[in-house]
Amino acid sequence: MALHAAAATASGHDDHRPLHVLPALCPEDARPAAQTERGLSMTQKKTAGAKSKPGKAPLKKSADGVVLLSGGNPQIAKAYGDAPVQQYIAAMPGWKSDVGRRLDRLIVKAVPAVEKAVKWNSPFYGTEQGVWFLGLHCMTKYVKVAFFRGAHFNPQPPGPSKQKDVRYLDIYENDEIDEALFMDWVKQAAALPGERM
């Protein structure tokens, strides 16, 4: 009722329309009952809830002290060149590091003048800086290779994508890598226009 009276006084009319006020702007006792739950205001509930939530588990680190994000993906600062890519590969957990070294070696063998960078905590490979044809990413149980123009390859990498041009190759721990086919895909990728990122 206090809100109706305030509305009538403010507008000069007594039309009994409710005045909608943001909860943060009106005193606690003037809030409608719908904005409280079991006697706690929404603010009190949020504060109480925040205190009762368990803390997040600390992030894991690789053997060389690099923070591992979800899926074991190494957190490496954005940088260009071979050094940050090698740092990323060295920090890949367990068997994934061996896969990373092998893929890097095959990419360099297929495209000797390849440009490298780490962006968004993933290694990128391209024909020129800022124009990329391939990226790697550690997932929980596999290493994901993204071919940014893979839908145009013959044959295409097996993994579909929501993006029309992208195809993926997921490599699991005991998978055999067909080196000849992988290098063919890398050569096809380097011959197509890259993705500007």
Q: What is the CATH number of the domain that holds 102?
A: 3.90.1150.200
Q: Which residue has the higher pLDDT, 182 or 16?
A: 182
Confidence of residue 63 (pLDDT cuts 50, 70, 90): low
Question: In this structure, are 46 and 28 located in the same domain?
Answer: yes
Closest CA to 61 of 74, 48, 45: 74
48-62, 98-112, 165-179: lowest mean pLDDT where? 48-62
Rounded CA separation 126/78 (Å) = 15
Confidence of residue 160 (pLDDT cuts 50, 70, 90): very high
Q: What is the pLDDT of residue 46?
A: 47
Question: In this structure, are 71 and 92 located in the same domain?
Answer: yes
Question: In this structure, are 86 and 135 located in the same domain?
Answer: yes
Question: In this structure, are 99 and 171 located in the same domain?
Answer: yes
Question: In this structure, are 46 and 72 located in the same domain?
Answer: no
Q: Which residue has the higher pLDDT, 85 or 37?
A: 85
Question: In this structure, are 97 and 177 located in the same domain?
Answer: yes
Confidence of residue 59 (pLDDT cuts 50, 70, 90): low
Q: At what angle do helices 95-110 and 82-91 cross, to 10 degrees?
A: 150
34-38, 142-146, 152-156, 176-180: lowest mean pLDDT where? 34-38
Q: What is the pLDDT of residue 18?
A: 56
Quick one: average pLDDT of 155-165? Answer: 97
Quick one: average pLDDT of 53-67? Answer: 64
Question: In this structure, are 127 and 42 located in the same domain?
Answer: no
Question: In this structure, are 149 and 115 located in the same domain?
Answer: yes
Confidence of residue 64 (pLDDT cuts 50, 70, 90): low
Question: In this structure, are 86 and 174 located in the same domain?
Answer: yes
- Contact 116/125 with Cβ under 8 angstroms? yes
Domain hosting 27: range is: 2-52
Q: In the structure encoding, which two tokens stand for residue 154, read together?
A: 């013959």
Question: In this structure, are 11 and 87 located in the same domain?
Answer: no
Residue 42 scores a pLDDT above 80? no
Q: Which residue has the higher pLDDT, 157 or 2?
A: 157
Residue 115 scores a pLDDT above 50? yes
Question: In this structure, are 76 and 98 located in the same domain?
Answer: yes
Q: How many domains does the chain divide into?
A: 2
Q: At what angle do helices 95-110 and 179-191 cross, to 10 degrees?
A: 50
